[in-house]
Amino acid sequence: MKAYPPPRRVVVTGIGVVSPAGIGLDAFWKGLQTEPQRRRVRTIDDFDAGQWLSSKEQRHHDRFTHFAIAASEMAIAGGLPDVDPDRAGVSLGTGIGGINTFEVQCGVLGERGPGRISPFTIPMVMPNAGAASVSLRLGWRGPCETITTACAAGTHSVGAGARMIFDGRCDVVLAGGAEASINGVTVGAFTKMTALSETGLSRPFDIGRDGFCLSEGAGVLLLEEREQALARGAHVYGEIVGTASTCDAHHITAPSPGGVGAAACMRRALDDAGLTPAEVRHVNAHGTSTPLNDQAEAQAVAAVFGPGAVPLTSIKGVTGHGLGAAGALEAVAVLLSFHHRELPPTMGTTEVDPALEVDVVLAPRPWEPGPTVSNSFGFGGHNGSIVLAP
């Protein structure tokens, strides 16, 4: 009978971030503390793909892949271990993939006919293009996987990447999420669903919350086996100590009543980490600013940790909702909170809904870093939770 090695420890030794709140760690952290403009659609207007890609490469990749490559390059900029390419993996999530390219090529089809469709359309549109392109650039031949669990994809991909190391499949993994799905179809569709904020404000857990602000971006973490990272003297931002994934099996868009699915996911993540709810010092919420989702998540947090028992934050007041990139961006925020010993404010929120029994952080709060649960929930009933520790 084959003997399996014990689970290994996984640390974060590099971070890359592209977001409406800022590009790069310093700009992103500063952005999380800055009052956002009223914009129901939040694009990254100062992103220059030319810093990482040639003109030819830019033409042959969708914008979401531009983001994935840029964030991955930032994550490895501080150095890589002497890695066996067969034990180096990529785990990148996306909600929709190259839908911008798809919309453009549909226009080409209608206006100029099938003969003028780009031969690069399929490799630009496919959701796995981001992960595949990162692996190709680095020559990494280990697992290269894409998770498309809607708005839970970024968190699921970080958890899956950590599992590759926990289970001994890899020694190093780039994990996170990328999304660039702002176009006429998606904005129109979310508007028809009444999911977008009419006010242009994302106000997680606020009594006046009226929907999310659609955004784009990418967050990528360099994950390593802990002993390897310490041996090479790498800077360690934090550790991933637990992961979990569940499904509500309730409704294609609405959360299960009372947040029972989200609560089950958080409990499983804590069990995986070997922690009790009392040991958790912060919950980074999915916090979309939609009435039903914020209510369900608040009920779940109160059920797991107790009413008002743990500080709760959401960065979507600044970043907007990056769909498949959201969970990865939020993991970045947690890791920076460890570094700065401070919880960022839940920007946009001014009056917490009194029906929600949660301690929402409304101003920067000095904080002794400790185990943090980061949540993501997606259409389809997907729930993802990871537990990070300093």
Q: What span, in angstroms and rounded, lies between the C-alpha atoms of 385 and 389?
A: 13
Tokens coding 21: 């709140």
CA 22 to each of CA 47, 216, 352, 390: distance values in angstroms, whole numbers, following the listed order: 9, 12, 26, 23
3-state secondary structure the chain: CCCCCCCCCEEEEEEEEEECCEECHHHHHHHHCCCCCCCCEECCCCCCHHHCCCHHHHHCCCHHHHHHHHHHHHHCCCCCCCCCHHHEEEEEECCCCCHHHHHHHHHHHHHHCHHHCCCCHHHHHCCCHHHHHHHHHHCCCCCEEEECCHHHHHHHHHHHHHHHHHCCCCCEEEEEEEECCCCHHHHHHHHHCCCECCCCCCCCCECCCCCECEECEEEEEEEEEHHHHHHCCCCCCEEEEEEEEEECCCCCCCCCHHHHHHHHHHHHHHHHHCCCHHHCCEEECCCCCCHHHHHHHHHHHHHHHCCCCCEEECCHHHHCECHHHHHHHHHHHHHHHHHHCEECCCCCCCCECCCCCCEECCCCEECCCCCEEEEEEECCCEEEEEEEEC
151 catalytic? Reply is yes
Q: What is the dihedral of CA 296, 319, 243, 134, to 10 degrees?
A: 140
Per-residue model confidence as pLDDT tens digits over 265-284 = 999 999 999 999 999 999 99
Q: Are 187 and 196 in contact (CB under 8 A)?
A: yes
> Does the pLDDT of residue 3 top 70, yes or no?
no
State the average pLDDT for the chain: 96
Distance of CA 178 to the CA centre of its chain: 8
Q: Are 75 and 222 in contact (CB under 8 A)?
A: yes
- pLDDT, residue 5, reads 54
State the catalytic residue, choosing from 61, 66, 144, 151.
151
Domain boundaries, the chain: 10-231, 244-381
CATH 3.40.47.10 fits 244-381, yes or no: yes
Q: Are 331 and 374 in contact (CB under 8 A)?
A: yes
Nearest to 65 by CA among 105, 97, 103, 106: 97
Tokens coding 210: 């009226």
> Does the pLDDT of residue 90 top 80, yes or no?
yes
Q: What residues contact residue 278 under an 8 Å CB cut-off, 6+ apart? A: none
State the catalytic residue, choosing from 61, 66, 282, 286.
286
> Does the pLDDT of residue 124 top 90, yes or no?
yes
Beta bridge pairs of residue 321? 214
Per-residue model confidence as pLDDT tens digits over 208-245 = 999 999 999 999 999 999 999 999 999 999 999 999 99
End-to-end distance of the chain based on CA atoms, in angstroms? Answer: 37
Task: Give the residue-averaged pLDDT of 56-76.
Answer: 98
Q: Read off the pLDDT band of 4 (50, 70, 90).
A: very low
Q: Read off the pLDDT band of 7 (50, 70, 90).
A: confident
Q: Read off the pLDDT band of 63 (50, 70, 90).
A: very high
Please state which architecture CATH assigns to domain 10-231: 3-Layer(aba) Sandwich (3.40)
Nearest to 165 by CA among 365, 5, 343: 5
pTM above 0.75, yes or no: yes
Tokens coding 112: 């100029």
Task: Give the residue-averaged pLDDT of 174-200.
Answer: 97
- pLDDT, residue 6, reads 58
321 catalytic? Reply is yes
- pLDDT, residue 294, reads 98
Tokens coding 238: 């934090």
> Does the pLDDT of residue 39 top 60, yes or no?
yes
- pLDDT, residue 338, reads 98
Distance of CA 88 to the CA centre of its chain: 21
156 catalytic? Reply is no
Tokens coding 230: 């310490």
> Does the pLDDT of residue 1 top 60, yes or no?
no
Q: What span, in angstroms and rounded, lies between the C-alpha atoms of 269 and 159?
A: 10
Per-residue model confidence as pLDDT tens digits over 250-263 = 999 999 999 999 99
State the catalytic residue, choosing from 66, 156, 282, 321.
321
Beta strands 172-179 and 88-93 are parallel
Percent with pLDDT over 70 in the chain = 98
